[in-house]
Structure 1
Amino acid sequence: SGNRVKWIALSSFLVGFGSLLLAFPYFSVKHFESEAKIEDICSATKSFNSLVRSKSSFKASYVTFFTLGQIVQGIAGMPLYILGITFLDDSVPTHSSGIYLGISDAAAILGYALGFATGSPQLPHSQNSTSGAATTVKTSGNALKKNWWHDFIVAASLAWSTLIPLLCFPRIIGDTAKIRDRKRREFHLFEKDLQHWKFGASIKDLFGVVWIMLKNPVFLCQTLSKATESLIIIGASEFLPIYLETQFILAPATATALTGIILIPAGALGQLLGGIIAYYLEMSCKALMRFTIVSSTLSIIFLVMIIFVHCNPVRFAGINENYNGTGQLGNLTAPCNEHCGCSPSLYLSVCGRDSTEYFSPCFAGCTTSKIINNEKRYYNCSCIKEGLTTADADGDFIDALFGKCNMYCHTLPLFFAFIFSSIVFSGFCGVPLTLIIFRIVPRELHSLGIGITYVIVRIFGTIPGPSLFRAAGESSCIYRDMNKYGQEGHCWVYNKTKMALILTGICSFCKMCTICLTLIGFQKYSYFVKERKNILHDISAQNTKEKKKNTML
């Protein structure tokens, strides 16, 4: 009942304010310096040589600003998602809503994915990166200040740049009165339940209408379908970087950036095309449901194809290779390195000249190292006995190079093609599901209906999605380090085949849920339409009978 445009403008202000809260710690951190020195080679005299010195004025109180910033962003997002799209729908004809909602949803996906693409350069290069690394890592305050906070300032500036244009909008666009009246006369599933309902401002009235909506099977099926679709996008964005990093041996920053590159065009294009198709074909509710079922089926087909796109696993000493018969599978320690006292918590993978990957130079038994042309090389490795020997400029024979072994796998473009197509067809469902909700809910309750939808989407989609995919991904771990207290730590090596099955399995299950829920909604909607036609037919027959009776009198 309020001025929706003003609420949307307030949301834009809060988005900018929340971004500034997230950037605030930069302006308060006076000094940050961290220096780590690591001896990664085999040493017979030291069990584990690692010295870390850190000096920082960063305080735990700054976490408060990060938390407040996220809370403000969460509050600001709801009016944008709920009131923004209802204002759009109320201002355009019924069949034109699709193209506008498609643009709106595409922009939301675009912003979410751009966060991955712009944030990935801020990620530190992990120790299992394929690039060379020195044994001394030093991060100064100047390097820290040049990076992370810029994105938040840009986001705040973009959000606040929309304030004046939004405030110039009228409460109701003048030439849309006929459109709203026409929509008010359209058939809605809640006509029978709400025809005697007087909408008030009390909490009792609110819960009464919410309960009526939740009892409607068509509305509930569509909202749950949006939750399963959200689960796929949010969960895949959480799991996909780890999947790319493991399957195709990519650095964390590269894997995260590629995730954004996949999600940006695919998700946005799917949402936009879904809205455009619904607009040009002027789909009815039944047609929108059929379109959702067909596009979900095509998405599952491309998901299943991902299973067949993989790279052969590399030989990994102690994991799937037993040190040429001298060690045991599942044990990184073998007779050739037991005198080194290596730590399983220090993961610095090296590739030996025998085309076998080792957990660290220490586990390969390497005693010396050199950095030549920014590439670290290891010598005198007691566990490496086979393979071609290559001498460096000093005449020393190189036994191992820092980084993972090259698997000579060229299936990444094919994986991109399949996952891109799957996300596009999955995105087709977004706008039709929203349009169905608008068609079955009375115009006066559009904001409430979308609000209920997003509550369900959060509860069953965006909140559990990352945790579900992360837990499923961790279940494919085949080697995890242990700290000195015997507690499990970070997972370093994954089962690639199991990861592929988990990714496709969860996403395919979510799409199957969308198909099943849409089928149930289609049946229930057909029943309601048939029931209404029968009622109208009975009323028409009754009126005809009364007219004949009056004529005879």
Structure 2
Amino acid sequence: MAQDEKKTSDKVKEAPVVEGHELRKTEESRKIETYLVTVPIAVKKFGDIPDKKISDPNYNDSSEGPFGLGPFVFPCLQRFNNVHSFLILYFLTVNTHGMIFALVDKSLNVYKSQLSLSILDKFLLDGIDYFAGCMVAMFIGYFGGRGNRAKWVAAASILIGLSAIAFAIPFYNYEIIKLHEIKEELCEEGKTAKVCEETFIPHKSICIFFFICGQILHGIAGMSIYILGVTFIFDHVPTKSSGFYLAIADVGLPIGYIVGFVAGKQAFTLPVQEAMQAVGHIQRFRILQRRWWKSFFTVAVLAFSTTLPLFCFPSSLPGAQKLRLEKRNEPPTIDRRLKNKEIKPNLKGILHAIWCLLRNPLLMTQIFCKVTESLTFKTTLLFLPEYLQTRFLMVPSRSVSITGSLLFIGSITGRFIGGFIIDRLEMNNKNKLKFIAISAVISIVLFLLTFFVECETVKFEGINDDYHSLGVLGNLTAPCNVDCGCTTSDYNAVCGRDETQYFSPCFAGCEATKTLQKEKTYYNCSCIKEGLTSTDDEGHYIDAVSGTCDTKCLTMPLFFAFYVSATVFCNLSVVPAILIILQSVPASWNSMGMGLTFTMSRLIVSLPGPLLIEAASDFTCHFWDINECGKKVHCWIFDKENLVYTFQIIFISLQGSTGFLCLYGLYRYDYVVKEKIEKLPTPFYGGDSVCSWHRSYLNSSQESVFSYQLVGSWHSAKIFISMDKHHYPLSHLLALE
């Protein structure tokens, strides 16, 4: 009887057979869902009619829905219900976010020059977006991860549009850029110096208010994009292909920044002639500033255009559940302490989840790698223009343009190549850690090679030359220009016929200027006594021309090649680091893991990071622009030796930290990921992947009476029992029993 019950329990349950009209009903219901007729589905929803659907629970998920806006679903649009369509819309959204970054940086320079901002105002306007982002990152990671992430990204695109409008309002409603008569500073005896006085700037507070509001919206939008958008893409692509998809998504930010930078550069070209012809003060400044507010409004339109399609995506795309089941069969990569753990929907559960994430060494090492990545970018953005000005005597505007070109070309190339390599080689997390560490070391080597590129140093009067022993190093004033009344408010370098560079025409003692073939020439310069003379078309002797002196540096392209290569290797780690973060926690914890990543990285990068980098930059300054009130305004000239050592120490420290963090993660990887296994007695290996373990029991005369032996590979081992000099397989003895 017991055997009959056992046989009955061992029978496989057969699926019910659907026959006749039941089969037709099933086909009809599936036909409705396949072709997605909108009216019947809407009636079903409003009538609260249950949906009878026969589905395989292993490969279907209730969150996998059609592409549509509520009950409005159209069959012809279902071709867009896939990860490729989402990736395109996500790329465009990230593009608009990058454009805002560039336009904000450009407009912040306008605010600094036109609104006389204090140090606190500059710090607040520059870093409030990062601070706002770190305050909401965990909130977005928890609640957004439990909802429809595509709709959260759509809401982020709305916030981008609103932030662009907030940035545009001051340029449209208030006069920020004022026209001044640009008079080049020449040597004029008896010139009166400016008097220190407090200037009142109308609408300053309201302009700062709108700028801060725009920065806050911009920072919050970025968290939804980079936390929820990335996890949504990762959940809908195979693990081995995720590197390529995330690389495409990630390069959208620097590409958008480049587009915004070009637009902002065009906005700096003011339509002065057209503005002067306008009737009325309001019309005049709106024409003068129209390229600014039009640029922001254009970005707002682009951001709003991606909103509606993003709202149409379901919580999970078709096939997501099947993909999740396939990922479960992959080798484990998560922290074993988080296995089968869920985040409880209360404050205590959230805090416990954060504590568990903070104890994950793999996650924490990559979070700090993201911090070093951001700080390296900010350090390069600040120090490289200063280095180009000091080493190659470039004017500030040109050095900034070259820095942007080098940095973003290397950034785009490195991010894409890093993701592509991870995709093609199908690296596991241990190999990704090695890859990041090696990339950091190579970037340091290439970075150091740039400092071996030397050029001939040009004489700079007052900086590295003392006006032919008539002046003092570190002081631009000399007997030849002491009566000219020169100021250091504008750095307008000129090159004299004596192959010496001067800070401005005034400090060269020049009294007259002309414009010849789009090049300014200067005459009667009292500080220039030597050199070959040349005449213009009118027979006047030219003493100096505008711009820096030609250093005749033929090795400068080599410097650019080394630095672009170093930037590429710095950015190879961006996509692998994101993948390690996503793969070191369970799938349901991905959004929380990314939320913690951006909380810590944004907090460190927004508060102590800029202050330390700015302090290091001030330490390297050699010549400050001091205004009429005695305040330091801008650093024009930097100490070459201090600048090189400071730049090297910061860069090597950040990239070296990245390498050490990855080596530490590699050291802790097996402990974090693999289960603890009891150690058996040490086996004897007899060949490749083959083990032989033997143990005998002896009698008093040391003769073997009973022994057992394990022979074979670890995956397919056989046990033999030896008794009375005969060998019996264990399975045979059990069968006899």
TM-score normalised per structure 2? 0.66
> CA offsets per residue over residues 329-349 of structure 1, 9 Å max, x none?
122222222233333445433
Map of 2:221 onto structure 1: 76
Map of 1:131 onto structure 2: none
Q: Which moved further from structure 2: 321-330 or 68-77?
A: 321-330
Map of 1:129 onto structure 2: none
- Any conservation in 2 of the 1:184–1:442 contact (CA below 8 Å)? no
- Specify which of 14, 26, 42 is matched with residue 171 of structure 2: 26
Map of 1:135 onto structure 2: none
Map of 2:367 onto structure 1: 223
- Any conservation in 2 of the 1:327–1:334 contact (CA below 8 Å)? yes
State how far apart, in whole Å, the 2-side matches of 1:551 and 1:225 are. 59
Answering whether residue 375 of structure 2 is matched by residue 375 of structure 1, we say no
State how far apart, in whole Å, the 1-side matches of 2:222 and 2:176 are. 34
Q: What are structure 1's unaligned runs of at least 5 residues?
A: 126-139
State how far apart, in whole Å, the 2-side matches of 1:373 and 1:48 are. 33
- Specify which of 264, 269, 280 is matched with residue 424 of structure 2: 280
Answering whether residue 249 of structure 2 is matched by residue 99 of structure 1, we say no
Map of 2:593 onto structure 1: 449
Aligned-pair CA distance for 1:124: 7.7
Q: Which moved further from structure 2: 57-66 or 160-169?
A: 57-66
Answering whether residue 521 of structure 2 is matched by residue 405 of structure 1, we say no
Map of 2:158 onto structure 1: 13
- Specify which of 655, 673, 677 is matched with residue 534 of structure 1: 677
State how far apart, in whole Å, the 1-side matches of 2:648 and 2:287 are. 39
Aligned-pair CA distance for 1:317: 1.3
- Any conservation in 1 of the 2:336–2:673 contact (CA below 8 Å)? no
Runs of 4+ in 1 over 6 A off after TM superposition: 49-52, 54-57, 550-553
Name the CA shift for 1:345/1:99 in 2 (closer, same or farther; >3 Å). Answer: closer
- Any conservation in 2 of the 1:114–1:264 contact (CA below 8 Å)? no
> CA offsets per residue over residues 453-480 of structure 1, 9 Å max, x none?
1112212346554444443333222111
Map of 1:474 onto structure 2: 618
State how far apart, in whole Å, the 2-side matches of 1:21 and 1:460 are. 26
What letter matches 2:159 in structure 1?
A: L
- Specify which of 499, 514, 536 is matched with residue 643 of structure 2: 499
The 5 A counterparts of 1:412-431 are 412-431=556-575
Q: Secondary structure at the match of 1:77?
A: helix
State how far apart, in whole Å, the 1-side matches of 2:679 and 2:310 are. 44
What is the root-mean-square deviation of aligned Cα atoms in Å? 3.3
Q: Secondary structure at the match of 2:205?
A: coil
Map of 2:185 onto structure 1: 40
Structure number with greater CO (CA < 8 Å, separation at least 6) is 1
What letter matches 2:150 in structure 1?
A: V
State how far apart, in whole Å, the 1-side matches of 2:679 and 2:235 are. 27
Map of 2:433 onto structure 1: 289
Map of 2:255 onto structure 1: 110
Name the CA shift for 1:401/1:209 in 2 (closer, same or farther; >3 Å). Answer: same
Answering whether residue 270 of structure 2 is matched by residue 86 of structure 1, we say no
What letter matches 1:111 in structure 2?
A: G
Map of 1:509 onto structure 2: 653
The 5 A counterparts of 1:311-330 are 311-330=455-474
What letter matches 1:73 in structure 2?
A: H
Aligned-pair CA distance for 1:73: 0.7
What letter matches 2:420 in structure 1?
A: I
Q: Secondary structure at the match of 1:295?
A: helix
Aligned-pair CA distance for 1:65: 1.2
Structure number with bigger Rg: 2
- Any conservation in 2 of the 1:32–1:55 contact (CA below 8 Å)? no
Name the CA shift for 1:124/1:332 in 2 (closer, same or farther; >3 Å). Answer: farther
- Specify which of 311, 325, 334 is matched with residue 181 of structure 1: 325
Identity %: 39
The 5 A counterparts of 1:41-440 are 41-48=186-193, 59-123=204-268, 141=285, 144-184=288-328, 187-192=332-337, 195=340, 199-440=343-584
Name the CA shift for 1:397/1:237 in 2 (closer, same or farther; >3 Å). Answer: same
What letter matches 2:229 in structure 1?
A: G
Name the CA shift for 1:343/1:270 in 2 (closer, same or farther; >3 Å). Answer: closer
- Any conservation in 1 of the 2:410–2:564 contact (CA below 8 Å)? yes
Map of 1:134 onto structure 2: none
- Any conservation in 2 of the 1:319–1:330 contact (CA below 8 Å)? yes
Q: Secondary structure at the match of 1:526?
A: helix
> CA offsets per residue over residues 425-456 of structure 1, 9 Å max, x none?
12211111111122210111000001101112
State how far apart, in whole Å, the 1-side matches of 2:647 and 2:260 are. 22
Q: Which moved further from structure 2: 56-65 or 313-322?
A: 56-65
What letter matches 1:2 in structure 2?
A: G
- Any conservation in 1 of the 2:461–2:467 contact (CA below 8 Å)? yes
Q: Which moved further from structure 2: 507-516 or 402-411?
A: 402-411
Name the CA shift for 1:436/1:391 in 2 (closer, same or farther; >3 Å). Answer: same
Name the CA shift for 1:331/1:385 in 2 (closer, same or farther; >3 Å). Answer: same
- Any conservation in 2 of the 1:378–1:398 contact (CA below 8 Å)? yes
Name the CA shift for 1:51/1:38 in 2 (closer, same or farther; >3 Å). Answer: farther
Name the CA shift for 1:239/1:162 in 2 (closer, same or farther; >3 Å). Answer: farther
State how far apart, in whole Å, the 2-side matches of 1:535 and 1:118 are. 64
